[in-house]
Amino acid sequence: MTQDKWIAVDRYITDMLVPPDAVLDAVLEASAAAGLPPHHVSPNQGKLLMLLALIHQARNILEIGTLGGYSTIWLARALPADGRLITLESDPQHAEVAHSNIAYAGLTNTVEIRVGKAADTLAQLATENCHPFDLIFIDADKPSNPDYLLWALRLSRQGSLIIADNVVRDGAVIEANSTDPKIQGVRRFNEMLGSEPRVTATAIQTVGSKGYDGFAIALVTSDESQYC
Ligand code: SAH
Ligand code: DHB
Ligand code: MG
């Protein structure tokens, strides 16, 4: 199997099951025009995130890593009218583009973007309120994934869903001696998930327009993770 075939089949699935969406298309165009890197999830993956949030009946979502807000919009579309999504972004320019994209998608009242290093905005979030998130999507700087998992657990309750993007990285994740801090971050994250008694987790490999990568999915099964 080749990357060409993965792309062709991804396109086929998207043609069949992910109808063209003028808003999401415009969001990707605006992000590219603003010079943002093409690190957003694919349309098919965005719909998977939306479906997981719908299946889970999520009302409160936390996203770590906004970029132009593409995955944000998919996730926010799964929320009920009074649902809320908080998304964390360190790059002010990315946040500005996301702000405009989220407004274009009509989600300004649903989505709150917090600008700053996630290490800081997560610490701030944890001091604020006692509303654990139903779903947490981790998709920012990969070396920090281990820290983000610990924060995600603190901001969770029994039954919360934690999803992480990019846990396969073209297969490089199996290179134990990799000197790439991104790979080491993802490896440590996967190890922690595997040994963490408070979650039941797995990971799936994905191929398609985003190349060869994967998602980790973890259900918080313990009532001991909650921070308040
Ligand atoms: N979730 C997005 C893609 C996110 S790309 C989507 O699928 O559409 C990763 C984002 O994380 C980038 O915008 C990057 O600026 C941001 N980021 C990197 N380091 C960060 C940090 N320390 N804190 C918060 N955001 C960070
Ligand atoms: C990168 C980050 C992502 O979240 C992604 O989906 C693809 C690539 C990156 O930093 O290279
Ligand atoms: Mg990603």
Q: Determine, yes or no, domain membership for 225.
A: no
**165 — phi, psi (to 5°)?**
-90, 160
- Residue 114's nearest CA partner among 84, 154, 142 is 84
Residue 72's pLDDT is 99
Strands 135-138 and 111-115: unpaired
Q: Which atom of ligand 2 is nearest to the CA of 65?
A: 4
Q: Determine, yes or no, domain membership for 226.
A: no
Residue 225's pLDDT is 67
Q: Which atom of ligand 1 is nearest to the CA of 94?
A: 13
Q: Determine, yes or no, domain membership for 45.
A: yes
**Nearest CA owner, ligand 2 atom 3:** 39
Give residue 114 CA to ligand 3 midpoint distance, Å: 18
Give residue 138 CA to ligand 3 midpoint distance, Å: 8
User: Total structural domains in the chain?
Assistant: 1
Query: DSSP per residue over 127-146, as a string?
Result: HH-S---SEEEE-S-GGGHH
Q: Determine, yes or no, domain membership for 190.
A: yes
pLDDT digits (tens, 9 = 90+) for 131-159: 899 999 999 999 999 999 999 999 999 99
Is there an atom of ligand 2 within 6 Å of 39 CB?
A: yes
Is there an atom of ligand 2 within 6 Å of 209 CB?
A: no
Q: Which atom of ligand 2 is nearest to the CA of 67?
A: 4
Give residue 178 CA to ligand 2 midpoint distance, Å: 17
What confidence category does residue 223 fall into, taking pLDDT thresholds of 50, 70 and 90?
Answer: confident
Query: Domain span at residue 21?
Result: 3-220
Taking the whole predicted model, whether its pTM rises above 0.95 is answered as yes
Q: Determine, yes or no, domain membership for 227.
A: no
pLDDT digits (tens, 9 = 90+) for 181-203: 999 999 999 999 999 999 999 99
Q: Determine, yes or no, domain membership for 40.
A: yes
The CA-CA-CA angle for residues 210, 31, 205, to 5°, reads: 15
CATH number of the domain bearing residue 16? 3.40.50.150
Is there an atom of ligand 1 within 6 Å of 48 CB?
A: no
Q: Determine, yes or no, domain membership for 86.
A: yes
Q: Determine, yes or no, domain membership for 68.
A: yes
